[in-house]
C-alpha cells in the first residue's frame, strides 16, 4: 500500500510541475498560443482549466501525504533495510536497570510520620 501511495505522489508531483511550468506568471502561458486567429478553448477557459488543475493536484498531493502518514503510523510499513531493522531493535531494547533504589514510591511517603502505637493503659482509676 505504501509503495502505491508513493508512486501516486511522484506522478502527482510530476503533473503539478508540468502544469505550473505551462502557466505564465503574467497571465499569458498556454493561452498566448491561442491568439485571435485560432480560439480553440479561449483565453479565459484555458486559464481556468490550468488553475483548476493546479488546485486539484495540490489538494490531491496533500491528501496522499496524509494517507502515507496514516499507513506508516499504522505500522503496516515494514522496515526497508537491515539498517532500519537494527535501529528499531536498538530503540525497542530496554535499558539495563541497576538495583532498585531505596527512594520512596511517592515523594511525600518518607516525610510523613509513622503512626504512633495506640497506648494501652491498663490502669484505671
Provide Rg for the chain, Cα atoms: 35
- State yes or no: pLDDT of 53 exceeds 60: yes
CA 15 to chain centre: 23
Residue 62 is predicted with a pLDDT of: 96
* % of residues, the chain, pLDDT over 70: 51
At residue 63, does pLDDT exceed 90? Answer: yes
pTM of the model: 0.48
Mean pLDDT on 15-27: 82
Pull the grid cell for residue 117: 502505637
Q: Each residue of 88-123: pLDDT tens digit?
A: 888 887 666 655 555 556 665 555 555 555 656 666
Sequential DSSP letters for the chain: -HHHHHHHHHHHHHHHHHHHHHS-TTS-GGGGGS-TT--SS-HHHHHHHHHHHHHHHHHHHHHHHHHHHHHHHHT-SPPSSHHHHHHHHHHHSPPPP-SPPS--SSTTTTTSPPPPPPP------
Amino acid at each position: 500500500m505504501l509503495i502505491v501511495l508513493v508512486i501516486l505522489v511522484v506522478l502527482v508531483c510530476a503533473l503539478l510541475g508540468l502544469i505550473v511550468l505551462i502557466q505564465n506568471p503574467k497571465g499569458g502561458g498556454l493561452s498566448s498560443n491561442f491568439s485571435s486567429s485560432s480560439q480553440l478553448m479561449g483565453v479565459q477557459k484555458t486559464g481556468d482549466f490550468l488553475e483548476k488543475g493546479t488546485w486539484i493536484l495540490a489538494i490531491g498531493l496533500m491528501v496522499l501525504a496524509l494517507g502515507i502518514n496514516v499507513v506508516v503510523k499504522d505500522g503496516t510499513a515494514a522496515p526497508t533495510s537491515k539498517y532500519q531493522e537494527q535501529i528499531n531493535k536498538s530503540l525497542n531494547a530496554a535499558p539495563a536497570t541497576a538495583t532498585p533504589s531505596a527512594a520512596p514510591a511517592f515523594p511525600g511517603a518518607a516525610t510523613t510520620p509513622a503512626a504512633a502505637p495506640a497506648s494501652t493503659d491498663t490502669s484505671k482509676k
